[in-house]
């Protein structure tokens, strides 16, 4: 996926769902030591931006799609992308609670998570009311809203 640098900088300045100074672990040095640098980390929509603490423009951005986020230990979480599984981005938090909050927020930020929730609630509303809630918007047949099982198409009377 391609992104315009100016658009990303503009997005990074939007209000964030979560922001904090976290330690970001770099690759191990030759002697096995790990370098941890403090970064300002901001979650904006489904992007995780990281900044040098004294700069306004992001140093980098991670699109939180097709990735796995997990706790490495009580204060560290990682993000690994499915197409780049050998590369992990590691972040150190100040507390266990902060670490869990970041993990939960990142999981909920992905488009796929939101899509699954939409499909779940669409199915529940259909089950309870007998009506497809997307029908009123004329988007019920769009492939992005289709379910592989569960919700059956509603027959329309012509």
Asked if 109 contacts 46 with a C-beta cutoff of 8 angstroms, the reply is yes
pLDDT score, position 93: 98
pLDDT score, position 150: 41
pLDDT score, position 1: 53
Backbone angles phi, psi at 120, to 5 degrees: -60, -50
Low-confidence spans in the chain with pLDDT less than 70:
1-2, 147-158
- DSSP strand pairing (60-63 vs 47-52): antiparallel
- Of 85, 104, 83, 81, nearest to 93 by C-alpha is 104
pLDDT score, position 34: 83
Crossing angle for the helix pair 111-129 and 96-109, nearest 10 degrees?
A: 70
pLDDT score, position 153: 39
Which run of H or of E encompasses 1?
Answer: none
CATH of domain 5-109: 2.30.29.30
pLDDT score, position 157: 45
The helix/strand/coil state of 152 is coil
Domain ranges within the chain, ordered by starting residue: 5-109, 113-145
pLDDT score, position 86: 83
């Amino acid at each position: 996926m391609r992104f315009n640098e100016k658009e990303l900088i503009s997005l990074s300045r939007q209000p964030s769902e979560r922001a904090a100074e976290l330690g970001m672990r770099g690759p191990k040095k030759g002697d096995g030591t790990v370098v941890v640098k403090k970064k300002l980390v901001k979650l904006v929509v489904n992007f995780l931006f990281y900044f040098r603490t004294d700069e306004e423009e992001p140093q980098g951005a991670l699109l939180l799609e097709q990735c796995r986020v997990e706790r490495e230990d009580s204060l560290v979480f990682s993000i690994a992308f499915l197409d780049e599984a050998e590369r992990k981005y590691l972040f150190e938090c100040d507390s266990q609670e902060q670490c869990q909050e970041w993990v939960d927020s990142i999981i909920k930020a992905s488009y796929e998570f939101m899509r699954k929730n939409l499909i779940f609630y669409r199915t529940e509303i259909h089950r309870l009311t007998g009506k497809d809630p997307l029908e009123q918007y004329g988007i019920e047949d769009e492939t992005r809203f289709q379910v592989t099982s569960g919700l059956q198409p509603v027959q329309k009377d012509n």
